[in-house]
Amino acid sequence: MTDANATPARVPDKPTVDGLEDKWGAVWQEQGTYAFDRERALSLPREQVFSIDTPPPTASGSLHVGHVFGYTHTDCMARYQRMLGKEVFYPIGWDDNGLPTERRVQNYYGVRGDHGAAFDPNFTPPLQGAEGKSVKAADQVPISRANFIPLCEELTAEDEKSFESMFRTLGASIDWNQTYRTIDDRSRAVAQQAFLRNVERDEAYQAEAPGLWDVTFQSAVAQAELEARDYPGAFHKVSFHKPDGGTVEIETTRPELIPAVVALIAHPDDERYQHLFGTTVTSPLFGVEIPVLAHQAAEPDKGAGIAMCCTFGDLTDVMWWRELQLPIRSIITRNGRISGETPEWITGGAGESLYVEQLATKTVHSAREAVVTALRESGDLIGEPVKTQRKANFFEKGDKPLEIVTSRQWYIRNGGRSKELQDELIARGQEIDFHPAFMRSRYTNWISGLNGDWLISRQRFFGVPFPVWYPLDAEGETDYDHPILAAEETLPVDPQTDVPPGYDAEQRGVAGGFVGDPDIMDTWATSSLSPQIATGWPVASNAGERNDAELFAKIFPMDMRPQGHDIIRTWLFATVVRAHFENGTVPWTGAAINGWILDPDRKKMSKSKGNAVTPEEVLRQHSADAVRYWALAGRLGVDAAYDESQMKVGRRLAMKLLNASKFALTMGDVADDAPITNELDRSVLANLREVVEQATKGFETWDYTRSLEVTETFFWTFCDDYIELVKDRAYGGQGEAEAASARATLRLTLKTLLRLFAPFLPYSTEEVWSWWQEGSVHRQAWPSLEELRTDGDPTVLGAVGQALAGVRKAKSDAKMGMRAEVSSVTFAGPAEITDRVRAGEADLRAAGKITALQYADGETFEVRDAELIPPPPKTPAQS
């Protein structure tokens, strides 16, 4: 006979969730609990390996709770797949190059990169940690590229340490041996090799064309990085002159672009202007003759119904310019100012002096004021400007409206100019299981709305250089038509320091020599290759020594791409484009799309908006399990509110799991094969079987929030009803056989619940598992239906629990504590319910302190005629 009061030695007296992160994080790291077993993966069938293309977070400062939200969803699925017995490939990278990093370095050190600055071997930055004080551009010290890049590398390395620490605290079951940086040797070689192959297959090309330009960051911007915002402006009604002396009135918010007008355009069906199509008018102030043309994109109900086409005011101008084959008359330069050189189409005309004296080298704002004043004086301004809020395109990280500037850039084809390629990429989307499924439409709609190819070059410093040089002719002019491409076996290369084949270093920048391409790749051009980087896609040079052709062949395409819905248009789509070209397939078969985290005003949390909450303090205050609970209560694809009250619920759940487990394990030892004979015990297991079935279905349909809900609901019933009901019996109050049945049920239920909760609450489940089991709960098998009895009636637990709740209510209504005795009570209801109550009567009597009870018929179940005896006063020891 076992001692019912024996306490397993490993159960602490006062369990707590506090400190579990440090305790178990160290154990997991030491024991390699989440390590990927490559050899096992190679030996298994493909369906027994689960690979995740984990988002590489941008290493530019601190993470926020939005990261916690998304990465917790990913980790939950990784843990479930691991418990199914699959070998889980769960790497992580750091997206440490690109504009966000440069901007952080500029503010942190008080510097900015300048291509014209000389290298200073003894340079010391003027600041060390000005984060949050946003140093003005005018106060930033210009430094050379060679001085600037080491500062970027230094700061990102520090950021990545803090990022890793936070993810470890969160309990992310990442294999920390499988990491990469998007600026490391391997990532640069992968990006450069893929680009070279794109060029060779004519999937990438260089062109001088109008493109979106951010004057603050002095860089081109891709269509996917646009953000439409309201911007204050004014409508100006302006007269253009017809040859017969009449006028055509247009309305514009950008009168400063009148010198750049190349046509007036109206809708072909607009009767007001049909007689003008094919004729010409002259521009006010400058007297330049321009055609009046028709195009379907003109809007008859907007303004006067006829618009200026300037090169270039907006993306519609670019479309008109391209489709109507109009000339380029650009006046806005890369610095956002009007060109200092007088355009040849104005030279010698009526407006030359106006341009030279009041427009040249001026800002767009100053030029606008000057043109409006001149229009007013000439009589070509009709009425006064009318203020309005116009929609303007901004770089998503910028503060000023974008301009459209003609420049030479690199592009990758993406279907924006090819219906055939567009259809192929839309079809790729059908090969991917989107979770939730409606997110596929965002992918499709984005591709359908593209109006140009993917611009991948950036005029910045910290990024992957284009592996390209250009020859210089005898006059020292750059020959862009004959680029010199690096050999794959030499990658990665930096054309600013490396020399192309057939040249020597002394020929850099001199006639008959060469120059390196000064641009870097857009950060998406590297991170769009994250599946290839992480899985070992072979590069000819084996830079970084991470080639793994066997593993790549095994796990690519990957299984899961988790990410936010806002970057479907960028990261997800770009990754599909690269895999389509390079591998002839999709990069992964499933995409899990999480929502945003919203602040109390229902706005997306972001560091740039200043409304983000950093996770370190939240994790310390509430515990990692509590924060994970909050994150996993939000379904995929749905935006969720930041809610610390939900974290408090999660902490309460984790604490209850510890304390309920302590009770279940301190009833005394019991044999693993002890028979479970009591009907209430069998009912618990029948209910648990249903929970396992529903929780498994939730994971299999990527609705793990539902899995958490059904598990948690059962757990509270288990604690509030079953544990209270069987206390007396488990302690031996009804004999050893009945005690053994209760103890066996408690342990089997607990063993199952811990595994069901493990993907959600990894720390508290690991803690409890260690009290009486060997190994890690996270390496155990996911619960199966075969483990649980099937001959119990699942409705018994609910009926007996309902009766216990009625007794408790009677005591509460009488303002007596739960220690009050019930000298007599009647349970009334339909026979099928009262029969179930009878099955648990012995436990119900003990839990409710019931002396006598009767049964009666009734239409619905109720507790009647409870006669109560007040409990005796508590002794000092009880108090």
DSSP-assigned states of every residue in 77-133: HHHHHHHTTPEEE--EEEB--SHHHHHHHHHHHTEEE-TTSPP-TT---S-S--TTS
**Lookup: tokens for 321:** 């310019």
Do 586 and 560 form a contact (C-beta atoms < 8 A)? no
Q: What confidence score (pLDDT) does residue 5 get? A: 38
Do 718 and 754 form a contact (C-beta atoms < 8 A)? no
Dist. CA 74–CA 438, nearest whole Å: 19
**Which residue in the block uniquely carries the two structure tokens 């809610």?**
643
Q: What confidence score (pLDDT) does residue 878 get? A: 59
Dist. CA 396–CA 662, nearest whole Å: 52
Q: For the chain, report the end-to-end CA distance as a whole number of angstroms.
A: 33
Dist. CA 659–CA 774, nearest whole Å: 20
Dist. CA 724–CA 844, nearest whole Å: 9
Q: What confidence score (pLDDT) does residue 1 get? A: 34
Question: 549 vs 179, 288, 421, 553, CA distance in Å?
Answer: 18, 63, 29, 6
Question: 686 vs 331, 439, 798, 836, CA distance in Å?
Answer: 77, 37, 12, 14
Which contiguous run of DSSP H or E holds residue 375?
helix 364-378
**Lookup: tokens for 91:** 């790497």
Alpha-carbon torsion (834, 835, 836, 838), positive or negative: positive
Cis peptide preceding 794, ω within 30 of 0: no
Do 109 and 126 form a contact (C-beta atoms < 8 A)? yes
Segment 155-159 long-range contacts (CB within 8 Å, at least 24 positions apart): 155/101, 155/104, 155/105, 155/108, 155/109, 156/59, 156/60, 156/94, 156/96, 156/101, 156/181, 156/183, 159/59, 159/60, 159/61, 159/62, 159/94, 159/96
Q: What confidence score (pLDDT) does residue 119 get? A: 93
CB-neighbour burial class of residue 616 (10 A; exposed 0-12, middle 13-18, buried 19+): middle
Dist. CA 806–CA 811, nearest whole Å: 9
Q: What confidence score (pLDDT) does residue 131 get? A: 54
Q: What confidence score (pLDDT) does residue 601 get? A: 74
Beta bridge partners of residue 249, listed in sequence order: 239
Q: How many residues does the chain have?
A: 879
∠ CA 629-633-638, nearest 5°, is 140
**Lookup: tokens for 606:** 């972001």
Nearest by Cα to 775 from 275, 49, 83, 40: 83
Q: Give me the residues of the chain with pLDDT under 70, please.
A: 1-9, 130-134, 224, 607-612, 875-879
Q: What confidence score (pLDDT) does residue 877 get? A: 58
Nearest by Cα to 2 from 842, 742, 659, 657: 742
Beta bridge partners of residue 228, listed in sequence order: 393
Do 712 and 776 form a contact (C-beta atoms < 8 A)? no
Dist. CA 683–CA 394, nearest whole Å: 62
**854 residue type, one letter:** Q
**Lookup: tokens for 625:** 């399990």
- Residue 640 makes CB contacts below 8 A (sequence gap 6+) with 69, 595, 596, 597, 598, 631, 633, 634
